[in-house]
Amino acid sequence: MGNNSQGRQKPNNTGNAARGTQYRRDSYVQGNAVRKLDVVTAIEEKEVRKLSPEARKNREKAFHMSFGYVLFLSTALVVAGFILISYIKLQAEITSSIKTIASMESTLNDLTMSNDEEYSRITSSVDLDEVKRVAIEELGMQYPTQDQVIVYNSKESDYVRQVSDVPDNN
């Protein structure tokens, strides 16, 4: 294995010939001598590689785009950007709406619970037997008799609205 003037080994085919690959190794230099990279030679080696005619045609086509094609690509890019920005705005609005709805539902639950607690407090504080006693004894109220009860049949709704006074049967 001899070194060439740039400090690189020549391609070694032994051991890799079955796989069909070749590789280069940078040689190790003992001491304080640092190898100098030949950048110009490396760039020239890349340029020397021959391109296939197909690849060369594709590169030439890509290099020479018509004005119409560039205009089409630009328009497509602008439309895609507009669609993406609109989509992001809609997502942000939806997220904001979901947060607002969650906040309102929380407020509704708090108010419903507070209302139920207040209703329970009021209902538990009223003694119906005391109300009945005061109505009968102190205010002189009585239970209605059968001829005082008037039944209305309404098919329109669950309740009846009184639009005029009920006639007295006396």
Does some domain include residue 148? Answer: no
Does some domain include residue 86? Answer: yes
Tokens describing residue 126: 């009223």
Does some domain include residue 129? Answer: yes
CA-CA distance, 162 to 21, in Å (whole number)? 103
Domain interval for residue 89: 67-143
Does some domain include residue 26? Answer: no
pLDDT of residue 16: 47
- Could you list the pLDDT tens digit for every one of the 170 residues in the chain? 444 444 444 444 454 444 444 445 556 555 566 666 666 676 666 665 667 778 878 877 777 778 888 899 999 999 999 999 999 999 999 999 999 999 999 999 999 999 999 999 998 888 888 889 999 999 999 888 888 888 877 676 666 677 777 777 65
pLDDT of residue 116: 95
pLDDT of residue 1: 45
Query: Residue 72 is which amino acid?
Result: F
Q: What is the chain's percent helix, strand, coil content, to nearest 5?
A: 55, 0, 40
Predicted model pTM: 0.39
What phi and psi values does residue 18 have, to the nearest 5 degrees?
-65, -30
pLDDT of residue 37: 65
Q: Of 3, 40, 8, which Cα lies nearest the Cα of 23?
A: 8
Does some domain include residue 32? Answer: no
Does some domain include residue 107? Answer: yes
pLDDT of residue 118: 94
Contact 10, 4 (CB under 8 A): yes
Does some domain include residue 136? Answer: yes
Tokens describing residue 52: 């296939």
Q: What total of structural domains would you count in the chain?
A: 1
Hey, what's the torsion of the CAs at 27, 33, 38, 39, to 10 degrees?
100
Q: What is the largest CA-CA distance in the chain?
A: 136
Does some domain include residue 152? Answer: no
Tokens describing residue 26: 């940078």
Tokens describing residue 12: 């070694």
Tokens describing residue 111: 């108010």
